[in-house]
Amino acid sequence: MTDKITLVEAVNQALHHAMTNDPDVVVLGEDVGVNGGVFRATQGLKEQFGFRRVMDTPLAEALIAGVSIGMATQGLKPVAEIQFMGFIFPALEQLMCHAARMRNRTRGRLTCPLVVRAPFGGGIHAPEHHSESTEALFAHIPGFRVVIPSSPKRAYGLLLAAIQDPDPVLFFEPKRIYRASKQVVPNDGEPLPLDICFTLKEGHDVTLISWGASVQETLQAAKQLEETGISAEVIDLASIKPIDYDTILASVQKTGRCVIVHEAARTGAVSADIAAEISYHAAVELEAPVERVTGYDITMPYYRMEQYYIPSKGDIINAVNKTMEQA
């Protein structure tokens, strides 16, 4: 029987499978080799695949991105690790101005099959620059796919799909749930489809949409709401860019209500885009305005205040009850 594994172990398993079956897949980043990565996502890879395919780099994110783009345009499939999302900004010029534009700039002559992995979000009592949740920033840039898993199974399948994608994928891993739960994840090399969301629970009174670590609180809220007679449908967005609006609109047209939950700051968030699309395409079916439960427009607080920033189960239940009061 296959053992259950955590989300970070599922990332390691996917990398191991991809590297075993495709000699073009290489891994690079700070401490990914000898130390196995800051969260041990790459543990054991250097011992098995050697230093030519698992490369420790200097502490230089722009270099990591630039070298990866060069590799990708010349036939390799680099998987670059940025230790924390808050460290990715020195690499933005390379990613935004080169990786994201490669297919367009060369009129399809070159693609950029690059995956950039980065842990993101709060909840582990980390210092400044270690708890960012700026996925909306990257979703705004044409040329990127932005993917966020919320369970070990989806981490494994979506990472394999990202590695196989011919264009750049930003793969943000919710570190708060790296080791929060375990699942049996068959190491069968089966990718999950990109660009779709996953319906985790069927319901008929309200649609709850979330991604990353917040999916956990959203599922807990749905369970508690069920005990009060409110049937919530729970959708894991998974692909932040592009967004699977077919699934979202079908659900909202069925339930008539929607609450979107995420830990990123409120202004300019992905939830605002989803709410606008729902309002445009499902206005007739909506029985209440779309509610958003989000983080705040401030820097993520230090650990003593972190719990007040991250949306809680109670926050989600309150938002759902607010929508239910409007009929």
Residue (of 112, 109, 53, 64) closest to 91 by Cα position: 64
Say yes or no: 152 and 39 in one domain. Answer: yes
Q: What CA–CA distance (Å, rounded) separates 316 from 294?
A: 10
Beta strands in the chain (DSSP E): 4-5, 25-29, 54-56, 77-81, 115-120, 145-147, 169-174, 183-184, 198-201, 206-210, 232-236, 239-241, 258-261, 291-293
Indicate the residue type of 146. Answer: V
CB 214 within 8 A of CB 263: yes
So what's the pLDDT on residue 124? Answer: 86
Domain with residue 239: its CATH number is 3.40.50.920
pLDDT digits 0-9 by tens, 33-80: 999 999 999 999 999 999 999 999 999 999 999 999 999 999 999 999
Q: Which of 159, 184, 209 is the last residue of a domain?
A: 184
Chain-centre distance for alpha carbon 317: 23
- Long-range contacts at 32-36 (CB < 8 A, ≥ 24 apart): 32/56, 32/57, 32/81
Average pLDDT for 287-307: 94
| pLDDT tens-digit map of 244-257 | 999 999 999 999 99
Query: Which of these three, 137, 161, 184, is where a domain ends?
Result: 184
Amino acid at position 319, single letter: A
Per-residue pLDDT at 1 exceeds 70: no
Same domain, 95 and 164: yes
Same domain, 208 and 118: no
- Compute the average pLDDT of residues 10-30: 98
Alpha-carbon gap, residue 324 to 96, rounded angstroms? 42
**Nearest CA to 273 among 254, 250, 256, 248?**
248
30 and 119 in a single domain? The answer is: yes
The reply to whether 101 and 159 lie within a common domain is: yes
Q: Check whether residue 159 and residue 276 sit in a common domain.
A: no
Residue 189 lies in a domain: no
Report helix, strand or coil for 316: helix
Domain stops at, among 128, 152, 184: 184
pLDDT over 70 at 266, yes or no: yes
CA torsion, ordered 65, 150, 268, 252, to nearest 10 deg: 140
Please say whether the beta carbons of 306 and 125 come within 8 A.
yes
Catalytic residue among 17, 98, 130, 262: 130
Residues 91 and 153 in one domain: yes
Same-domain pairing of 163 and 232: no
Active site residue 130: yes
pLDDT, residue 127, reads 85
Residue 302 inside a domain? The answer is yes
Please give the Cα distance from 192 to 198 (Å, whole number): 10
The answer to whether position 23 is within a domain reads yes
Query: CATH number of the domain that 151 lies in?
Result: 3.40.50.970
Give the CA distances from residue 308 to residues 64, 295, 305, in Å, rounded to whole numbers and listed in that order: 35, 9, 6
139 with 245, same domain: the answer is: no
Residue 301's domain spans which residues?
A: 198-326
Is 204 in the same domain as 118?
Answer: no
What pLDDT is attached to residue 168? 98
Cα 132 from Cα 177, distance rounded (Å): 15
Residue 282 inside a domain? The answer is yes
One domain, residues 178 and 203 = no
Is 190 a member of any domain? no
Asked if residue 193 belongs to a domain, the reply is no
Indicate whether 257 belongs to any domain: yes
Average pLDDT over residues 157-171: 98
Q: Please provide the average confidence, as pLDDT, over all residues in the chain.
A: 96
- Total number of domains in the chain: 2
157 and 58 share one domain:
yes
Per the domain annotation, does 261 fall within a domain? yes
